[in-house]
Amino acid sequence: MTPLDPVLSAEAMRAADQATIETWGVPGRVLMESAGRAAAREIVARFEVAGRDVTVLVGTGNNGGDGLVVVRVLAAHGARVRALVLPGEGTPDRTANLHILSRMAEHDTGVEVVPFEDVRQVANAPADLVVDALLGIGVTGELREPARALCAWLNRAGAPVVALDVPSGLDATTGRAAEDSVRADLTVAFGGIKTGLLLGDGPTLAGEVVTVEIGIPDAELRAHATAWQAPRAWAGAHLPERAADAHKYSAGRVFAVVGSRTFTGAAVLSTAAAYRSGAGAVVAAVPEPAAPIVDARNAEVMVDAQPATGAGTLARIAREAVLDRAEAADAVLVGCGLGRDDDTLALVRDLVEAVEAPLVLDADGLAAYADDADVLRQRSGPLVLTPHLGELRRLLNDDSFDPIDRIEAVRGLAQRWHATLVFKGVPTVVGTPDGRVLIGPPGEPALATAGTGDTLAGTLVGLLAQGLDPDVAALCALWLGAEAARLWTADHGATGLVASDLIDRLPAAAHALRS
């Protein structure tokens, strides 16, 4: 079965690199040669280089050494390559490669080595392609001269840009970008993908990302992984399949405590998504004023009308009836469209405490634990929390919460609350109670519309009801939503999708992921 892919912070990547050199006996020069050659192969596969002018911006570190190898290989493919070399004492391996390249330049091999003096050197010598080998993974904070001026020029130059490992100026761990960070068309990641390419500004700046093998053993990458990413094939392999003798109750029973007089749509969307993700039976407890609307808009859902508060939300006196329903369920969803009446939030807390089945707490359900989320760790059954940033701030009672390192923040909170924490964003990051962090699929712009959070919650609870573990269900739900959005976008473009469009395409998305 397809494994999860390791994702590494800058520190973790350096540790894996060092272990490869010290434990496995692979010289640093060999890793550099492999990295440069692999990057050059990716460049040649995507760009016409023969007879073209290529500029490689070479820093003083090992990233610059990788770039010097690229110069050699592209010249061998017929390119006219100009290496613009920043001043300063380079690393030993970079210095050795610069010596080789300087000897080549003496023999008119299509290579020119130019010491950097002023940014006008590149401005006055336009190129058909530029390779960013300035900084690599070791730089954080604001860019310093002359790198800043070169990066700013590069972003104005108009030529395609290939970044080696990470675009210069992008924090390889957090995805935070300095002013004038390089905006690449292609980023060739060496060994393993860096967390910063997936988070924050990374997806915007990195362009297409391809990971190449350079000689670091897979065992080292996995041993030093900061987080894990699910490839498309992994999601397809983990989606549940129905048994030939399945019936509606064996296929997964969902109980949803959702909706209010004001927010019937959230109840409709979440329960419909539970069905479309493969659950066999869905029961929804909704307040009496909402029941006729939910019933009319979603005929397949078994609607259980319960007493309402004056605000039209579920009343706490429904507790025993709701708990009885929950006992028969394989998974429970609490929150979508419930509203925030105090009586309703008290009911939410009762349910989270008493229900033993896997439980997804979403949207208004999370409001029941504003400034009191630590009590969630007392729950005995599996718990999945699905907050966006605003909801997470309310759970923490911290309106300024905006973690620089989302991976470590999610890791800590999931362990603290003994829950699977699905921190929604681009991309969504999933933390588990045992300290693992999983990164969801790349963002789909079409998903930026109301109701897709309700759809995700319904998809997730539907997969839980079919027996998936919470972390697996979360990743599969994210992949189903992304694939459904991709299918819709292929027909209609990236704008105009509504949540019900997404739900209609969930079965096709599952089929596509399995294919």
Which residues touch 25 (CB under 8 Å, ≥6 apart)?
A: none
> 194 a known binding residue?
no
Q: Give the CATH superfamily of 5-225.
A: YjeF N-terminal domain (3.40.50.10260)
> 168 a known binding residue?
yes
> 165 a known binding residue?
yes
| Domain segments of the chain as ranges | 5-225, 235-514
Smallest CA-to-CA distance from 75 within 46, 36, 133 is with 36
> 142 a known binding residue?
yes
Which class for 144: exposed (0-12), middle (13-18), buried (19 or more C-beta within 10 A)? exposed
> 428 a known binding residue?
yes
**How far apart are alpha carbons 99 and 364 in whole angstroms?**
64
> 266 a known binding residue?
yes
As a whole-number percent, the residues of the chain with pLDDT over 70 amount to 100
> 139 a known binding residue?
yes
**How far apart are alpha carbons 385 and 420 in whole angstroms?**
6
User: Do you know the residue count of the chain?
Assistant: 515
> 257 a known binding residue?
no
Q: pLDDT tens digits, residue range 83-107?
A: 999 988 889 999 999 999 999 888 8
> 63 a known binding residue?
yes
**How far apart are alpha carbons 286 and 349 in whole angstroms?**
17
Question: Among all chains, which residue has been given the structure tokens 């990641």?
Answer: 189
> 5 a known binding residue?
no
> 426 a known binding residue?
yes
State how beta strands 80-85 and 53-58 pair.
parallel
**Residue ranges of E strands in 124-247:** 129-133, 161-164, 186-190, 193-194, 208-212, 227-229
> 140 a known binding residue?
yes
Which residues touch 132 (CB under 8 Å, ≥6 apart)?
A: 57, 151, 154, 161, 162, 163, 164, 167, 168, 182, 184
Low-confidence residues in the chain, pLDDT < 70? 1
Q: Could you say which architecture CATH assigns to the domain 235-514?
A: 3-Layer(aba) Sandwich (3.40)
Amino acid at 380: S
Question: Among all chains, which residue has been given the structure tokens 């300087």?
Answer: 102
**How far apart are alpha carbons 515 and 505 in whole angstroms?**
15
> 64 a known binding residue?
yes
**How far apart are alpha carbons 185 and 478 in whole angstroms?**
26
The 3-state DSSP class for residue 372 equals coil
> 335 a known binding residue?
no
Give 165's DSSP letter.
S
Helix ranges restricted to H, 418-498: 452-465, 470-492
Which residues touch 406 (CB under 8 Å, ≥6 apart)?
A: 174, 199, 200, 423, 425, 429
Smallest CA-to-CA distance from 130 within 176, 192, 78, 71 is with 71
Answer whether 227's CB lies under 8 Å from 199's CB. Answer: no
> 339 a known binding residue?
no
Please give the structure tokens belonging to residue 220.
């080292």
What pLDDT shows up at residue 82? 94
> 192 a known binding residue?
no
Question: What is the strand order of the sheet 429-431 is part of?
Answer: 193-194, 5-8, 227-229, 437-439, 429-431, 420-423, 383-385, 359-361, 331-334, 253-257, 281-287, 302-306
The 3-state DSSP class for residue 174 equals coil
> 137 a known binding residue?
yes
> 424 a known binding residue?
yes
> 425 a known binding residue?
yes
Give 466's DSSP letter.
T
> 141 a known binding residue?
yes
Answer whether 351's CB lies under 8 Å from 326's CB. Answer: yes
One-letter-per-residue 3-state SS of 94-152: HHHHHHHHHHHHCCCCCEEEEECCCCHHHHCCCCCEEEEECCHHHCCCCCCCCHHHHHH
Bridge partners, residue 437, by sequence: 431
What pLDDT shows up at residue 371? 85
Cα four-point dihedral sign 226, 227, 232, 237:
positive
The torsion of the CA quartet 289, 331, 448, 440, rounded to 10 degrees, works out to 170
Question: Among all chains, which residue has been given the structure tokens 């473009």?
Answer: 493
Answer whether 82's CB lies under 8 Å from 56's CB. Answer: yes
> 65 a known binding residue?
yes
